Amino acid sequence: MPQALRKVVDPEDIASQSDYIAYSKSVHAHSPAIQRLLDLSEDYVPGAERGYKAGKPAVWCQANNFVPVLLYSLGVVPVAYNEMGRYSAKEDMLIAEDFYQFPVETCSMVKCTVAQWHKRLNAGTIDRILGSSSACEPFNLAWEIMRQRGYDVFNNDVIYRGPTVTGERLERLVEFTITQILDVAEWLTGQRKVDDDKLKVEIARKNRLLGKLRQVLELRRSHPFYMKTLAIILTLNVGLNNYFGKPQAYEAAIDDLILELENAPINEKEIKAAIPLVWAGGTGQEFGIYEAIDLAGGALLGLRSVPFRLYREDVPPLESMARWIYDNSIAGAGVYARNVLDSEVERLKARGVILYGYIGCSFASVDREMWRRFFHDKGLACINLEGSFQTGSPSGQVLTRIKAFVEMLAA
């Protein structure tokens, strides 16, 4: 568990992302399960790096979608490189801009990640990077640079299903993706094969956890403030994807959280006071935004990446992975994610949608604008925020806007 987490009980004392987690632990003094989930989040990257030094294989990757399912089946820990953003500061931006000559306007997530990899060169820690060409051009550039600097880098091809792709075209995509998955397995293990039984175990684990997280989300509707925004975002958007590198500990904490929520007394006043919100877009390391939602009385009950589709267990596991990719909101076209958001809005009777992205990201801003127009046409309030991947105190302007938005919904 993390060594350096200091006790932070006053939001005024927050000076770093670790402090936000420490503060969140104090806010969740009523819940040992949430405290454990926050500990797991805090120890995710350091724990994987410690494990690697002790001989446990680990790879930097996006650590979401099908990748963790595959990697765990191969005995490799998936380590989300964007989680390193929370250890970054201005100095990291300078490494990316001055040493690697990234233009200043490049997305800060990419710049933080490049700088963190730079600092780890020859440090005896994880030295392999699994990229994804579906990400974005700035990240493609980052991987190429890191390859030149000595990292062992592998990129799989773009995964994209257009909104009208069905039938034979979809079947060809599924076949292509199976070869992509085998490429990754070969790069990781030297063997172009996967162990079907181990893959089935991981698919079953993922389906089980998707079901449990759905249960958590349902229970939160009766306990909207039991689990605050930062904790649910870390638990869902990071933990559910990669289990913070510790699948059993993560699942045990989720089991305990369900028990806690089931036994917590229901407070009707609290339910009435909550302003149900849905979050769309990225969730970065700007933890102060989540804090601002809590302070303004918002209850973030739905997220774009809310668990919905299960992996099929009636087809061979490799095929199941490929089909899951194309049946899900991650298939590429923004309309898939919009449909998820829309069903969340309906299910939760949400009063507002928070659209969030990073300054310098031209890709996601197009999706966000389409979603904003869609919800506005339906008469739902939306706020479109651009933040940075900065650590430390959040930017004042973003905070002011989010507070004003939630307060407007309350009024």
Binding site for ligand SF4 (CB under 6 A): 107, 109-110, 135-136, 138-139, 282, 358, 361, 363-364
Question: In terms of CB distance, is 132 or 207 closer to ligand SF4?
Answer: 132
- Residue 60 neighbours by CB under 8 Å, 6+ apart: 79, 81, 117, 126, 128, 129, 130
Question: In terms of CB distance, is 151 or 363 closer to ligand SF4?
Answer: 363
Tell me the two tokens of residue 36. Answer: 């454990």
Question: In terms of CB distance, is 74 or 109 closer to ligand SF4?
Answer: 109
Contact indicator for 34, 231 with CB cutoff of 8 Å: yes
| CB of 48 vs ligand SF4, minimal distance in Å | 21
| CB of 328 vs ligand SF4, minimal distance in Å | 18
| CB of 366 vs ligand SF4, minimal distance in Å | 11
Question: In terms of CB distance, is 64 or 207 closer to ligand SF4?
Answer: 64
Question: In terms of CB distance, is 258 or 359 closer to ligand SF4?
Answer: 359
- Rounded to whole angstroms, the Cα distance separating 104 from 44 reads 29
- Rounded to whole angstroms, the Cα distance separating 111 from 96 reads 5
Our CA angle for 2, 5, 6, nearest 5°, is: 155
- Rounded to whole angstroms, the Cα distance separating 367 from 386 reads 13
Question: In terms of CB distance, is 109 or 231 closer to ligand SF4?
Answer: 109
Can you spell out the DSSP letters for 315-359? S-HHHHHHHHHHHSGGGBSHHHHHHHHHHHHHHHT-SEEEEEEET
| CB of 383 vs ligand SF4, minimal distance in Å | 18
Closest C-alpha among 174, 237, 406, 204 to residue 311:
204
Question: In terms of CB distance, is 107 or 399 closer to ligand SF4?
Answer: 107
Query: What length does the chain have?
Result: 411
Tell me the two tokens of residue 301. Answer: 């009950």
| CB of 96 vs ligand SF4, minimal distance in Å | 12
| CB of 315 vs ligand SF4, minimal distance in Å | 31
| CB of 72 vs ligand SF4, minimal distance in Å | 24
CA 408 from chain centre, in angstroms, equals 28
Q: Tokens 């060594």 sit at which residue?
A: 3
